[in-house]
Structure 1
Amino acid sequence: MSGTFPEALPATVVIPVRNEERNLPQCLAALGRFAHVMVVDSASTDRTGEIAAENGAQLIQFEWDGKFPKKRNWVLQTCQFSSPFVLFLDADEVVSPAFCDELAQALADTQHVGFWLNYTNYFAGRQLKHGVPQRKLALMRVGAGFYERIEEDAWSKLDMEVHEHPVLDGTIGEITAPIDHRDFRGIDKFLERHIDYAKWEAARYGALQAEGLDSATHLTRRQAFKYRNLGKWWYPAFYFTFAYILRGGIWDGRAGLLYAFYKAWYFTTIKALIAEAKR
């Protein structure tokens, strides 16, 4: 077949996983323009490892001891990269040709050390076009920094940085073409992992209160607002009103209502854990 093929994108894709046989195939299938893909597994008991191998990805096993570093920082600290950038994807995230095109253009000649990424979110089988937009700093230059160092002691079963953000030395850009965020594991898995998220958030809140929130200069504005108010009685209702009414989640129908409701439930759970710890 003749024709011109695009040059491999100058970023290594790193996908942290555990038991992701349902989501991983669609994620890997979209990564043909990346020269190197690493799947970092936590002893999956399903076909995750086989799927990674079948798709030509490098499979790396990670075993967490409950302390720093977690999976993403461990990768940044221990792995050798042949590309100047690292793109962290979750198994339920799928890049589009438009994203890859914009990425190629952005990385061709940039002084930025990281890029904010945007996401198209789905819940209960429907795209959420409104509500609080999902945005992550998940593309970074090798050697520019790491995710926040948080000295936890097995606050939850989370062996990967979820709420931690990268702390990078340099300017940050943005890729506007969104990544598709589709999780095929259902609401039961959503609730299961958000219980772990809630345990971690409550422990993080307690640690920040103990050390003094003003001393945590590495927090983003969004993080600072959250941890200043997470334990207050009005925060879950505030989030629901903000996401569902002010940000238009109501226009996403049943899916928008469920998503706002479950997020409010999540913040209520965190608040209850904080109150329990104080008692």
Structure 2
Amino acid sequence: MSRLPIAVVIPTRNEEANIVSTVRSVIAHFAAVVVVDSDSTDATRELAKAEGAEVVEYTWDGGYPKKKQWCLERVRTDLDWVFFLDGDETPSGELLAELRRIFLDGRRVRPAAFDIPLGYWFAGRRLRHGHTIVKRALVDRTRARFPEPDDLEAPGMGEQEGHYQPLAYPAYRLRATIEHRDLDPVRTWFERHNRYSDWEAWLERRPEVREGIRRAKTRQGQLFHRAPLKPLLSFGYAYVYRRGFLDGRAGLDYALAMSFYRWQIGLKAREQPPAAS
């Protein structure tokens, strides 16, 4: 079976609970699988190597490029296409088939990037309804670049690019999913989103930086970026309009968690003084 001419890049830090399933899901299908690890203190690196992945060490220097852009510039540059997977994600079988139709039919791949929906798991259950998350996870590194907003002083993100997409045109949305199944306890979701809300709140007080980031989001993200009453809108959209109630208790829990996240952002933003002009 021919391998896809794509480098799978998996940025990690302390992902020993998830990394084996992630590497196993891609190692036989892609030309390269590289785990780019940031000083893990658990067995992430050893487990990834045992499954056949290449492991590259990464230490952030506090500036740009941040981690994913660094990967585009440094990791397996012999392959133009880069597929970013988190350490708790796996491509569905349908996605692998879709990529084979695109990349192995002998025709030139015209898009510069592909937006891929997530099959999202929350508190141990696969959500079938509610809010849909889409990631620009597959990019041609020769035609894509992550923005460099003036947010290095912001808390919450550190070495990670914020909640924005790499800039690439044209981009095409695929139908099949990346399965985002985090095996860590749900408290880690809240810990991450507490940090993310610090970054989002910092942006709320800096409209020029915030506006630049808005342009690097998906269309859905851009619309929500401007919306008022975000906690209520988030809950109503996910639980009612997108029928998250059909996912039972998990759908309610996720809609409430995302609404709480939006409430955190607003509360933290109101607590901060305006940015100095």
TM-score with structure 1 length normalisation? 0.90
Does 1:8 find its partner at 2:3? yes
Give the aligned partner of residue 259 of structure 1.
Answer: 254
In structure 2, relative to structure 1, the CA distance for the partners of 1:216 and 1:248 (3 Å cut) is closer
Alignment partners' CA distance in 2, 1:177 and 1:214: 30
What RMSD over aligned residues (CA atoms) do the two structures have, in Å? 2.0
Unaligned stretches of 5+ residues in structure 2: none
Give the aligned partner of residue 52 of structure 1.
Answer: 48
User: C-alpha offsets along residues 201-259 of structure 1, whole Å, 9 cap, x if unaligned?
Assistant: 1122323x145838965454333333334xx5x21011101111111011111100110
Alignment partners' CA distance in 1, 2:212 and 2:80: 34
2:35 partner amino acid: V
Unaligned stretches of 5+ residues in structure 1: 1-5
1:247 partner amino acid: R
Are 1:39 and 1:57, in contact at CA under 8 Å, matched by a contact in 2?
yes
Alignment partners' CA distance in 1, 2:212 and 2:151: 19
Are 1:119 and 1:179, in contact at CA under 8 Å, matched by a contact in 2?
yes
Does 1:19 find its partner at 2:14? yes
TM-aligned CA deviation for residue 126 of structure 1? 1.2
Query: Superposed, which structure 2 residues align to 1:69-148 within 5 Å?
Result: 69-108=65-104, 109=107, 110-148=109-147
Give the aligned partner of residue 203 of structure 2.
Answer: 204
Alignment partners' CA distance in 2, 1:50 and 1:24: 10
TM-aligned CA deviation for residue 19 of structure 1? 0.2
Greater shift, 142-151 or 16-25, is seen at 142-151
Alignment partners' CA distance in 2, 1:214 and 1:86: 24
Give the aligned partner of residue 3 of structure 1.
Answer: none
Match of 1:246 among 241, 248, 252: 241
In structure 2, relative to structure 1, the CA distance for the partners of 1:29 and 1:213 (3 Å cut) is closer
In structure 2, relative to structure 1, the CA distance for the partners of 1:266 and 1:212 (3 Å cut) is closer
Give the aligned partner of residue 59 of structure 2.
Answer: 63
SS in 1 for 2:30: coil
In structure 2, relative to structure 1, the CA distance for the partners of 1:217 and 1:256 (3 Å cut) is closer
Alignment partners' CA distance in 2, 1:145 and 1:69: 13
Are 1:116 and 1:173, in contact at CA under 8 Å, matched by a contact in 2?
yes
2:211 partner amino acid: L
TM-aligned CA deviation for residue 99 of structure 1? 1.5
TM-aligned CA deviation for residue 56 of structure 1? 1.6
Percent identity of paired positions between Structure 1 and Structure 2: 33
Does 1:193 find its partner at 2:192? yes
SS in 1 for 2:139: strand
Alignment partners' CA distance in 2, 1:62 and 1:220: 28
1:178 partner amino acid: T
SS in 2 for 1:77: helix
In structure 2, relative to structure 1, the CA distance for the partners of 1:58 and 1:154 (3 Å cut) is farther
SS in 2 for 1:63: coil
Give the aligned partner of residue 163 of structure 1.
Answer: 163
Are 1:115 and 1:175, in contact at CA under 8 Å, matched by a contact in 2?
yes
Match of 2:29 among 28, 33, 44: 33
Give the aligned partner of residue 221 of structure 2.
Answer: 223
Alignment partners' CA distance in 2, 1:217 and 1:95: 27
1:186 partner amino acid: P
Alignment partners' CA distance in 1, 2:73 and 2:190: 31
SS in 1 for 2:174: strand
Give the aligned partner of residue 277 of structure 1.
Answer: 272
Alignment partners' CA distance in 2, 1:44 and 1:215: 29
TM-aligned CA deviation for residue 148 of structure 1? 1.7
Give the total of aligned pairs: 269
Alignment partners' CA distance in 2, 1:61 and 1:206: 35
1:165 partner amino acid: Q
